[in-house]
Amino acid sequence: MEKYILSLDQGTTSSRAIVFDQKGSIRAVAQQEFRQIYPQDGWVEHDANEIWESQKTVMLDVLEKAGISSSSIAAVGITNQRETIVVWNRQTGEPLTNAIVWQDRRTAGDCDELRKQGLEPRITEKTGLRLDPYFSGTKLRWLLKNCEGALDAAAKGELAFGTMDTWLLWKLTHGKVHKTDVTNASRTLLLNIHTGQWDEELLEMLEIPESMLPEVCSSSEVFGQVDASILGEEIPIAGIAGDQQAALFGQACFEQGMAKNTYGTGCFLLMNTGNKPVVSKNNLLTTIAWKIGDETVYALEGSVFIAGAVIQWIRDELKMIESASEIDELAAEVEDNGGLYLVPAFAGLGAPYWDPYARGLLVGITRGSTKAHMARAALESIGFQSADLIECMEKDSGVSLSELRVDGGATKSDLLMQFQADLLGTKVLRPQVTETTALGAAYLAGLAVGYWENQAQIAQQWQTEKVFESKDRTDKIGTLKRRWKKAVGLSRGWLDAE
């Protein structure tokens, strides 16, 4: 009987389940959205029970769609939205509050306060992260302080903490297993990425009792069994990784210096830096890419806030196109950007500029500027921002990129992919399976149960759908880069600092 891997992809807006076969090809996909809860300005929550219900539903749906029974599932892998937290009662399994989502900014003031106490350098040294509300640690601290009785209950060992992987694992095993993997743990501000363990000093700084934390495991091992009441029989849960790390794995970026960029609403760039964590001098994050057996692999990570979102803006606000797929056609009406540069600093600028006061800018307009130039400038802005991050990664790691593997919705734009290759002077590779996040979790699970033999076999399976060679090595690229930097400079500090 042919066997498959079931991958659970617990995202920010939906839960998905995908069945992969041994070639790493997709057999079926099921997806269900869940509610986004905005109780106050800057707060974002999810109902953890609703997430579990949706994840269970799509798990059953996908087996039906694939026309297979649970007995042909060799293992289950989990990948998830990172940093989002939930705390529940160990006895009842009921969450204390809604899950606090990675986008939630309620702890901005707490982060400022901790920064004033001079704690950030030490936290960064140990975690590779910044003191920012984005990460789990201050969210957990907030919950314990603001939810009545939580501190007491936590001290008595009655509460369990988890990121979404841990929550799903708990539910899938009917409360038998309380574990996480190192990649998820490395986003909490509580894990020392050098030792791969929860760190006493960090726990003390953030006032978190260790008793509520899950056991930290590697990314590829049997964490527990899916309870027989769920799928009819026990199935091993054998792989877990946060979404961006899973995508790096799904792109088979196994060698030091290999990188992937996900072009979604924003961009997420991760570069494999091998067995040593590289400390960034350019405000990138250092994170654990995965751990298999005793070997920990690290990555540098950078993100662009507004990437595909700039195309949505052109579609929804400027109404220049009806669907995102029309952007290439419009941009192809002209040969180049006609001197037009768009800096989409709609919400300030991230790495390497880190300027919350920057705002969007369109510069270089002449009488001859057209919508088509604008479309081109928009696509190019995604490429420029990604190239800025790669420049930082190359400086930090001392490795120059030989190719870039890509995924995400905006990689449908051939024009953008070709521009990216030209700008970087390296090949851009678009793979056949673009569900790289779910695929990465499937690979991690499959490796642990011997469904795939080793990483070399996976690397061989990885196939390109299209290769974009870097063609334009003329002065034009130099001019483009120079003008882009100039345009970024003009966008900076636009708002008055408070």
Q: List residues binding ligand ADP (CB under 6 A).
A: 264-265, 308-309, 311-312, 324-325, 327, 408-410, 412-413
From the CB of 85, what's the least distance to ligand ADP, in Å? 21
From the CB of 375, what's the least distance to ligand ADP, in Å? 10
Q: Which CB atom, from 70 or from 381, has the smaller least distance to ligand ADP?
A: 381
Q: Which CB atom, from 324 or from 362, has the smaller least distance to ligand ADP?
A: 324
Q: Which CB atom, from 202 or from 410, has the smaller least distance to ligand ADP?
A: 410
From the CB of 261, what's the least distance to ligand ADP, in Å? 11
Tokens encoding 470: 């870097």
370 and 336 in contact (C-beta within 8 Å)? Answer: no
From the CB of 95, what's the least distance to ligand ADP, in Å? 25
Helices (runs of H) and strands (runs of E) counted in the chain:
17, 23
Tokens encoding 351: 């790495």
Strand partners, 31: 16
C-alpha 154/C-alpha 174 separation (Å) is 21
Q: Which CB atom, from 70 or from 265, has the smaller least distance to ligand ADP?
A: 265
Strand partners, 342: 362
Q: Which CB atom, from 105 or from 315, has the smaller least distance to ligand ADP?
A: 315
Q: Which CB atom, from 162 or from 308, has the smaller least distance to ligand ADP?
A: 308
From the CB of 191, what's the least distance to ligand ADP, in Å? 26
CA angle 117–120–124, rounded 5-degree value? 160
Q: Which CB atom, from 37 or from 324, has the smaller least distance to ligand ADP?
A: 324
Residue with tokens 């350019």: 282
From the CB of 410, what's the least distance to ligand ADP, in Å? 4
Q: Which CB atom, from 216 or from 253, has the smaller least distance to ligand ADP?
A: 253
Give the nearest residue (CB) to ligand ADP: 409
C-alpha 467/C-alpha 239 separation (Å) is 30
C-alpha 270/C-alpha 285 separation (Å) is 9
3-state SS of 145-183? HHCCCHHHHHHCCCEEEEEHHHHHHHHHCCCCCCEEEHH
From the CB of 266, what's the least distance to ligand ADP, in Å? 7
289 and 268 in contact (C-beta within 8 Å)? Answer: no
Cβ neighbours around 489 below 10 Å, total:
13
Nearest by Cα to 407 from 283, 307, 257: 307
From the CB of 134, what's the least distance to ligand ADP, in Å? 16
Q: Which CB atom, from 151 or from 324, has the smaller least distance to ligand ADP?
A: 324
Cβ neighbours around 175 below 10 Å, total:
15
From the CB of 7, what's the least distance to ligand ADP, in Å? 16
Q: What is the DSSP string of 200-258?
A: HHHHHHTT--GGGSPEEE-SEEEEEEE-HHHHSS-EEEEEEEEHHHHHHHHTT--STT-
C-alpha 302/C-alpha 287 separation (Å) is 10
Q: Which CB atom, from 231 or from 314, has the smaller least distance to ligand ADP?
A: 314
71 and 9 in contact (C-beta within 8 Å)? Answer: no
From the CB of 292, what's the least distance to ligand ADP, in Å? 26
Residue with tokens 């095993």: 173
**Which three-class secondary structure state does DSSP give residue 42?**
coil
**Which three-class secondary structure state does DSSP give residue 193?**
coil
**Which three-class secondary structure state does DSSP give residue 488?**
helix
